[in-house]
Structure 1
Amino acid sequence: MISTVEALYNRTAIGLAHQMKCNYPAFNGNTLDLEKHILKSLAEKENFDDFITYIKNPRRQTEAFIRAEVKKYIFTDHKDEAVIILNKNVHDINTTVSQALFTATQKVQTQSGYTDTWLKEFFSALNDNLTLDPICSQNFSDIKDFDFLRRETEKGFASIIEQMRSISLDKMQESRLKPDEILVDQLCKHCWVKCPFCSAICTNTIEDHKDDDHSVPFHRPNGIQGWHYKGTVELCITFCTTNVSSDLKFYPYHNSEKSIPYKEYRNGGPEYKTWRITPDGSKLSYWKWFVCRFQNKLEKHYNRKFQGRGEIPDDWKTISKEEAIQSLDEMGFSDV
């Protein structure tokens, strides 16, 4: 059971989460749409540490993105709308309680019931519309005038309603149920398995999809995950989709002594056999721009170099940030 104020917080949190899920572009699509908006945000901010977090721990960065967007939506961009939802819920709770008090009193007077019957009817009238802390019937055991009981209870709720009318959106952050947590729970229920070569996230909407292989529409240059040519400091610049159509080989793990042809990558071990990587030429300009923009930081992060076989092609260096963001539209669905 919860208090009336907590009920207000919960209703408002659910209402705001629902509104954002329906109307906010980053949240009203599928998993791929959300990823596009995250990638756009990362490019706009150009924070290398956030990029690395997304590559290494995509769920953590996704949750951080959701929370930041919810905060901006509620407290900045759509604050007036959020206040309207909060105030409407105060009005609705007041109406629900008043109606339940009237219904309970009318039924008990008609049926000649007792105080515990009145309380039972009161909470029954609230039903699923509102869940409140229970009231002990012993506190009202001597009361026979149910109109008086209704009026006194209304007075008690009136002070609570006044308290709720003074509640600000900021106070909602103290609630147990928060809109950002609701959206994190809803939007993060999908597969989080990463490609063993480039860390691209499987786009399957089912968390444990045992009957289907993991897959993504676009892979990334393997060097951003730290892949390099064995025995050298040369970071790999090639994409997974190109590698699996080549005659090249790879070492599945850092301590592997035997190399495996990319065309037989599924034989690399448990991490590899559940992935379906289609041999094609699909390469997002976004990741080419990323490698060029953060070349020095990537090299420092992995203590290796984009040189030799991993030298960055000249045409990659001409891609602008705007072109990189625009290339995200190739991932399909809505524009970012």
Structure 2
Amino acid sequence: MPRRSANKTSKNKQTILATVILTTGLFVLALFMAISIMYGAADIHLETIWKSLTAYNPSSSSHQIIVNLRIPRALAAALIGSALAMSGAIMQGMTRNALASPSIMGVTAGAMFTMAIALAIMPSASSFTMMMWAFGGAGLGTGIVFLVGSISKSGLTPVKLALAGTAVTALFTSISTAITIHFNIAKDLSFWYAGGLSSIQWVHIKLLAPVAILGTLIALLLSKSISALSLGEDVARSLGQKTWVTKLTGTIVVLLLTGAAVSVSGTIGFIGLVIPHITRFLVGSDYRVIIPCSGILGGILLIIADTVSRMINPPFETPVGTVTALIGVPFFLYLARNDGRNAA
């Protein structure tokens, strides 16, 4: 009885903390979006932002910057950060691999590879076309990583999966570089390699938002099944779950979220690695809570990183992928050092 009471108390604390994160997270997200809109190469007062929303003046340069540049950029940061964090949470839950994330498992590298091909054969490809190629490349990268990682007799261990992802990422990156040199498209592809949000426009939001919302809804519907799968396939099957359906659906969701994010912002790594671990530490192992909380925290992290990238060396911008890497690389090394034992 005392142990059961202690477990119940611990669960109640995690539920309360999860509720706090979900309820206050949106407010914090909106706050950092406002800060992101205010600060940049030209600082803009909050009153000017309000006027641009309530009484837009097309002849005002400040209003144009806010409406056409800053707002879509802040929205994109929130959506992309959320998409990458939820993708990482889903991957870690399905594979029970603490090292799983879109940037490490070959998903983003595969998307970059096919986008390089698209730019080589279709230099004036539309944003929608690039997104479709990114989806295909994300699927290709994921498939090869899982194939390579499962060749050994012992199967897909966390470290082997991470090593396979690293190798496939290096392969795709090398081929993509060769394509950019041969077809002289290095300038066109450099934006996606560095990872950034400086070129975001409303057209990108119109493409990104529906995919991100659809992926989020499916992820939330799938979260209970991922919680069972994270306990092991045998446990999931004993609960009557068709594990292959969960894995297939989860993979599709990851491809949707990651492909859409990469096609708009390029390579922004480590959000999908760091945020799910922080979320699990805060709220426990229930993916019905982990997935939405990861989405909120991921959006907040990328907005902060994007704001910092603009303020490091103004008026020039540091690629936001560099800022997230400064956070993520030490975290990855810590997990690798522990041999992936912090399994999801």
Tell which structure's C-alpha radius of gyration is larger.
1
**TM norm structure 1:** 0.24
**TM norm structure 2:** 0.24
Between Structure 1 and Structure 2, which shows a larger proportion of helix residues?
Answer: 2
